């Protein structure tokens, strides 16, 4: 059957197109629209570093692409990616200009080097001398045999100097042999240590910002004042490199040593994308491509005057709260007071934290209480991504200083957080914390914590099972579920997981938890089969899923089988969706939407009808090959009936979204879902749901 699957990379680009739609949405606050431009650009950088780089590696090796790449030769896929990205880049530039003009109506002016007033000149020159000039790295290219840009995802101003001719020909020679101009080329690295957006002094009610690139352009003459040039021009370029880690096979080196060396090696890895200002002179572009060894068939993408637009994520607020999202203070969890003992409360019943609607402070409080409680004997936790300055880490160190036995399973290969995790691992070890570096051949992506407390001469366990990282920074912008529980059977199985980390050759059995890589696929297939049986028997049969991505072919085929049997499937998929819904005789009973808004939708939630007695699970695992077969993941059944209903309710709120939901189909246009139902913007409606829950006395 044709069009059975959507190519994974193409689907990802469609997802990033939805991010760009947020920037284009005129109902969004203006500064937030700029920040979505930044998110779009940052996503694209990571895509080229990882996904495009992988396709390129396959193409260079002359291999066929398997599974989800069916129907694509690697080279053809690279070409299609490049064309889609060029179109999206053009659209992003159009949106940026639209936002820039709209900001003018708000008395906010983003000026360039040609718009600087006399009153701004002194400020800019002083700022350059005191702040920018000491941080500049300038490379003169002409005498270099080759150019190897090592800084990760840096943007550069490519400078062309046409030099003055010192010895001019005379007489007939002057008429027939005009002097050949000498040209010098240079690169100026845009410093990452300085805010990209320089806020200039206000002029009345008018606010002015200059982008750092333009501030540098304004001061080019002072940078190159030792050169005798005739003309001087500067255009931006950016190189993206393959970010896959190639680990050394040297058995004499520790894993941390190998990983550290591999991270450093990223600066010398294969380039996968070259983006340039479309106004750059052709001879300058050709010179740079030749100098850097870029082939003409590489992903060479024309862009606008500015690159590294991911910096728009940090666009200054300018004290204009009206141009940003309304701030909603995170709510307490009903019945769970931060002032009292969380452990005593959790001993009585389970609680659900849904960040960022609820405050993440509960997780910090749980660990801080465990660190101080004399009855707590041990803490075990998995770490995938920590905040740069982490209260989680501080609490664990506090516990170790108080004599608790602390075990941290830390995933050193969490992409782009490797260096941060190595730094924390070393710090933990210095404080006497036991560190586990994972399972050979598997990433540990589960998010669990278990503490052991001595009560009346016996050990009782309390713990956390989450869909997201134990990271207080991302918890402000990622939606995720965290279950607080003292359920002895669940936590006994969480404890088994840590035994597996230490003796990975011994595979444990789990009656309740759904653990990858050994059981997740089979367990979910059995749950799908049960719905298929219900449908065939004429009973109500449905599956409701909320996940980040679905790419696994076998799982997609299983859902097609369920659809053909009459099972009704509702799927909320934020990112990649290789499944094609709504196709007659294949997926006509499957509906898929994607929601993008203020927060990043991150939880994994699975609801199975189970003949009117729903089974509900939260999980760290998406339905991708890596999560099912190559990672340690944990899914957890929900036993508490009130929490089960809460999860069903929040799913239904998301499903009813007709403001920020897009319809996922074979059509790549990311069409918004619109209907005649009352207007529902699910993220704001979810906050209202919990606000009402707090005020309800029952």
| Residue 515 in tokens | 């653990």
Distance CA 182, CA 339 (A): 73
DSSP structure string for 563-620: HHHT-EEEEEESS-B-B--S-TTTTTTEEEEEE-SSSEE--EEEEE-TTTS-EEEEES
Distance CA 425, CA 374 (A): 25
For residue 163, the cross-strand partners are 229
Residue 561's CB is within 10 A of a number of other CB atoms, namely 15
Distance CA 447, CA 465 (A): 6
**Distances in Å between the alpha carbon of 694 and those of 333, 334, 643, 680?**
8, 6, 14, 21
Contact 410, 375 (CB under 8 A): no
Contact 10, 84 (CB under 8 A): yes
Contact 73, 11 (CB under 8 A): no
Which residue stretches of 623-672 are H helix? 625-629, 641-655
Candidates 620, 617, 639; CA nearest to 631 is 620
Residue 268's CB is within 10 A of a number of other CB atoms, namely 11
Buried b (16+ CB within 10 A) or exposed e, 402-434: eebebbbbbbbbbeebbeebbebbeebeeeebe
Q: In what side-by-side order are the strands of the sheet with 197-203?
A: 108-111, 206-211, 197-203
Helix-helix angle 418-430:255-265, to 10 degrees: 150
| CA angle, residues 385, 386, 388, in degrees to nearest 5 | 125
Which residues, other chains included, contact 115 with Cβ-Cβ below 8 Å and sequence gap of 6+? 109
CA 423 to mean position of chain CA atoms = 21
Among 445, 487, 544, 602, which one carries the catalytic annotation? 445
* 266, containing H or E segment: none
Active site residue 167: no
Distance CA 258, CA 248 (A): 6
Strand ranges for 190-334 from DSSP E? 197-203, 206-211, 229-241, 271-277, 300-303
Q: Kindly list the catalytic residues.
A: 445
């Amino acid at each position: 059957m044709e069009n059975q699957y959507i190519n994974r990379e193409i689907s990802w680009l469609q997802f990033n197109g939805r991010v760009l739609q947020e920037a284009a949405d005129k109902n969004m606050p203006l500064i937030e629209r700029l920040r979505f431009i930044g998110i779009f650009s940052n996503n694209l950088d990571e895509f080229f570093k990882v996904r495009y780089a992988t396709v390129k590696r396959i193409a260079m090796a002359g291999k066929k692409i398997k599974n989800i790449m069916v129907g694509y030769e690697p080279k053809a896929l690279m070409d299609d990616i490049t064309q889609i990205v060029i179109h999206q880049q053009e659209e992003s530039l159009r949106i940026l200009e639209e936002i820039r003009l709209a900001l003018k109506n708000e008395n906010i002016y983003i000026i360039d080097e040609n718009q600087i007033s006399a009153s701004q000149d002194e400020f800019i020159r002083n700022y350059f001398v005191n702040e920018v000039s000491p941080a500049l790295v300038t490379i003169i290219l002409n005498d270099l045999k080759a150019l190897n840009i090592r800084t990760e995802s840096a943007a550069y101003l490519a400078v062309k100097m046409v030099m003055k001719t010192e010895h001019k020909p005379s007489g007939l020679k002057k008429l027939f042999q005009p002097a050949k101009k000498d040209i010098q080329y240079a690169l100026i690295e845009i410093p990452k240590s300085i805010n990209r957006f320089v806020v200039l002094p206000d002029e009345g009610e008018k606010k002015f910002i200059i982008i750092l690139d333009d501030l540098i352009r304004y001061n080019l003459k002072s940078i190159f004042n030792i050169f005798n040039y005739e003309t001087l021009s500067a255009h931006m370029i950016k190189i993206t490199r393959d970010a896959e880690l190639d680990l050394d096979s040297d058995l004499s080196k520790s894993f941390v040593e190998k990983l550290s060396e591999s991270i450093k090696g990223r600066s010398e890895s294969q380039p996968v994308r070259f983006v340039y200002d479309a106004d750059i002179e052709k001879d300058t572009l050709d010179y740079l491509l030749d100098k850097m060894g870029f082939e003409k068939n590489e992903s060479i993408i024309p862009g606008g005057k500015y690159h590294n637009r991911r910096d728009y994520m940090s666009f200054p607020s300018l004290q204009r709260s009206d141009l940003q999202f309304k701030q909603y203070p995170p709510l307490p969890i009903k019945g769970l007071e931060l002032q009292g003992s969380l452990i005593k409360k959790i001993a009585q019943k389970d609680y659900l934290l849904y960040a960022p609607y609820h405050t993440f402070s509960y997780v910090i409080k749980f660990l801080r209480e465990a660190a101080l409680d004399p009855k707590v004997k041990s803490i075990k936790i998995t770490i995938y991504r920590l905040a740069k300055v982490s209260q989680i880490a501080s609490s664990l160190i506090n516990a170790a200083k108080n004599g608790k036995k602390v075990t941290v399973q830390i995933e050193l290969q969490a992409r782009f957080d490797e260096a941060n995790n190595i730094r924390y691992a070393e710090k933990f070890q210095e404080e006497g914390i036991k560190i586990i570096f994972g399972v050979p051949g598997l990433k540990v992506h589960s998010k669990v914590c278990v503490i052991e407390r001595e009560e009346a001469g016996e050990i009782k366990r309390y713990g956390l099972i989450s869909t997201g990282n134990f990271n207080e920074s991302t918890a402000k912008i990622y939606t995720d579920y965290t279950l607080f529980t003292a359920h002895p059977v669940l936590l006994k199985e969480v404890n088994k997981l840590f035994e597996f980390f230490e003796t990975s050759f011994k595979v444990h059995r789990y009656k309740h938890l759904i653990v990858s890589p050994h059981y997740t696929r089979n367990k979910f297939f059995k749950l799908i089969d049960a719905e298929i049986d219900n449908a065939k028997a004429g009973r109500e049969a449905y599956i409701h899923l909320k996940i980040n991505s679905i790419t696994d072919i076998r799982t997609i085929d299983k859902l097609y089988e369920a659809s053909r049997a009459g099972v009704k499937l509702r799927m909320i998929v934020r990112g990649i969706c290789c499944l094609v819904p709504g196709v007659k005789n294949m997926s006509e009973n499957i509906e898929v939407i994607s929601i993008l808004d203020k927060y990043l939708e991150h939880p994994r939630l699975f609801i199975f009808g189970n003949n009117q007695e729903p089974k509900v699970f939260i999980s760290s695992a998406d339905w991708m090959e890596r999560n099912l077969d190559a990672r340690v993941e944990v899914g957890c059944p929900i036993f508490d009936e009130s929490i089960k209903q809460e999860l069903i309710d929040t799913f239904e709120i998301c499903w009813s979204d007709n403001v920020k939901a897009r319809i996922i189909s074979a059509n790549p246009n990311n069409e918004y879902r619109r209907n005649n139902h009352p207007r529902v913007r699910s993220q704001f409606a979810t906050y209202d749901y919990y606000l009402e829950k707090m005020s309800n006395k029952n």
